[in-house]
Amino acid sequence: MKSLICLLTLSSLYLTATSSRLSHHRLEHKTPKDFNEDIVKTVVVGQNGSSDFKTIQAAIDSIPSGNDKWIKISLQNGIYNEKIIIPSEKQKIVMQGNDASKVIVQYNDAGQSNGSGPVIVYAQYFVAINITFKNSYDPITSVGVPYKEIKVAPSIILMADKAWFYGCSFISVQDTLADLVGRHLFQNCYIEGAIDFIWGGGQSIYKKCLIYVKGMKTNKMKDYEGGILPGFITAQGRASEQDTSGFVFKYCVITGDGMASLGRAYRGYSRVLFYKTSMSNIIVPQGWDAWFYKGQEDKITFAEVGCIGEGANKQGRVGWEKSLSAKDVAFLTSTRKFIDGDGWMATLPSSLVSLDSPFPIYY
């Protein structure tokens, strides 16, 4: 009976999540309580006369170098066509919108996996709430993305430790979310792409996120079902056994109009875990790809634990997918143990604690 209740609940949430994609892409949303607590200053960015700044970069530039107090940049509704750099000396920034469907930070820029796109974060202690980050380069149509026209086009590039994203959307096609360095928490976020669209050497937990796989069109109709070329959700870059990095997807939903593998190995010790996640039938049967590390699969840690849905059927999975011990699963899925071992999250504005429910919404 418990399993049946879980399945019915998950199915309902899956339908809700899919329909909400058209509006805000969110699966759950809460507004921070007393969010001005611990914030020493708030500046407003917008395109009307009531704002302090017209551009996000101008607001960032106004923050003193070496800042050690939390400053909020409040974004009014609008589309911000900017290329934004948050330098390492501008720490403790909270960037917040009211609704990710109405606060869009975008830029048309492609070709560099570590330089293209609207936002590059070099500063530690960065928080973003209810914002869409979008690279508008790749042509996205209702029938898929033309494969030959796709270029590397990140929506955000993370080059720093200690970041938290809540209720945000990340939209592109290839290399959408460049989770390159450091420990990060993505909660209640929407992530869309087709090729390696969550990638890098980050040490991150993706909690209660909706992952949307875009279809890629190819003219080789006879080679791929419906002319849709399968892509890859993750490309994680753990480089050694001592490397602590990895991607953990916890209580997420995977859907889309394309097809994809759960991931391929960007480096030789790549580590990805999908935990209690709902997977639709867009996941290809083999599930994973060793990429350039074929023959070295024993070093790769790709695993699925407690997942449900048609895409979670392990019949046809690669034989080298890992079976993790209960101890390893407990470690990787624990926010405190995997990404907060030194307690950095306790230094975030205290009101953010209200956003981090310990209870799963999918399972």
What are 82-123's pLDDT values in tens digits?
999 999 999 999 999 999 999 999 999 998 888 889 999 999
Q: CB within 8 A of 194, min separation 6: which ones? A: 145, 150, 173, 174, 213, 214, 215, 216, 231, 258, 260
Per residue in 158-167, pLDDT tens?
999 999 999 9
End-to-end CA distance of the chain: 14
**109 a catalytic residue:** no
- Cα 208–162–248 angle (5° rounding)? 35
Whether the predicted model's global pTM rises above the 0.95 cut: no
pLDDT tens per residue across span 225-250: 566 789 999 999 999 999 999 999 99
Cα gap 6→70, rounded to integer Å: 40
The pLDDT of residue 210: 98
Distances (CA, A) of 11 to 16, 77, 249: 9, 32, 18
Average pLDDT over every residue of 171-186: 97
Please report the domains of the chain, with CATH numbers, ordered by start residue.
2-342 (2.160.20.10)
* pLDDT computed for residue 333 by the predictor: 98
pLDDT over threshold 80, residue 56: yes
Task: Specify the 3-state DSSP secondary structure of 84.
Answer: strand
Residue among 138, 175, 179, 289 flagged as catalytic:
175
pLDDT value of residue 219: 61
Q: What pLDDT is recorded for position 36?
A: 67
Residue 25 has pLDDT above 80, yes or no: no
> Among the options 138, 161, 179, 196, which is catalytic?
196
Higher-confidence residue of 144 and 106: namely 106
CA 308 – CA 281 distance, rounded (Å): 11
Percentage of the chain surpassing pLDDT 70?
83
Is 298 assigned a catalytic role?
A: no
- Predicted local confidence at residue 217, as pLDDT: 77
pLDDT of residue 123: 98
Q: DSSP letter at 298?
A: G
Instruction: Name, in order, each residue with C-beta under 8 angstroms of 93's C-beta and a sequence gap of 6 or more.
Output: 60, 63, 70, 71, 72, 73, 86, 123, 125, 126, 127
